[in-house]
Amino acid sequence: MDVKYLNYIITIAKKKNMTKAAEELYVSQSSLSQYVSKLEQELGTPLFLRAKGELVLTPAGILYVNAAQKVIAIQKELYQDIGELDLRGHITIGVTSQFSLEMLTEIIPRFKADYPKITIEITETNIPTLVSLIAEENVDFGIAALNTTSAFSHEQVDILRNEEVFLAVPVDHPYCKINPGPTVSLQDLNAYFGDDNWLLSKKASSLRYVSDNVFHLSGLYPKAMCETNSITTTRSMVAMGIGVTFLAESCASARDKIVYYSLEPKQYRMNVLIRRKNWTLNSWETKLYHYIRDYFSSCSV
Distances (CA, A) of 115 to 77, 120, 138: 20, 11, 22
Distances (CA, A) of 111 to 102, 118, 160: 15, 9, 19
Q: For residues 199 and 254, what is the distance between their CA atoms, to the nearest angstrom?
A: 16
User: Degrees (nearest 5) of the Cα angle 201, 204, 205?
Assistant: 45
Q: For 52, phi and psi rounded to 5 degrees?
A: 55, 45
Closest-CA residue to 248 (of 236, 233, 231, 265): 231
Which residues, other chains included, contact 283 with Cβ-Cβ below 8 Å and sequence gap of 6+? 84
Per-residue confidence (pLDDT) for residue 299, from 0 to 100:
66
Q: What is the dihedral of CA 171, 177, 180, 183, to 10 degrees?
A: -100
Do 224 and 198 touch, CB atoms closer than 8 A? yes
Does the model's pTM come out above 0.85?
no
**pLDDT per residue as tens, the chain (301 positions):** 567 889 899 999 999 999 999 988 888 999 999 999 999 999 999 999 988 889 999 999 999 999 999 998 888 777 767 666 655 578 999 999 888 999 999 999 999 998 888 899 999 998 989 998 998 888 999 999 999 999 888 889 999 999 999 999 999 999 999 999 899 999 999 999 999 999 999 888 999 999 999 999 999 988 888 998 889 999 999 999 999 999 999 999 999 999 999 999 999 999 999 998 877 788 888 999 999 999 998 765 4
Which residues, other chains included, contact 141 with Cβ-Cβ below 8 Å and sequence gap of 6+? 91, 92, 93, 94, 273, 274, 275, 276, 288, 289, 292
Per-residue confidence (pLDDT) for residue 301, from 0 to 100:
43
Is the Cα torsion angle 195, 197, 201, 207 positive or negative in sign? negative
Amino acid at 225: M
- Preceding amide of 265 cis, omega within 30: yes
Per-residue confidence (pLDDT) for residue 83, from 0 to 100:
63
Q: How far is CA 278 from the centre of its chain?
A: 17
Per-residue confidence (pLDDT) for residue 153, from 0 to 100:
87
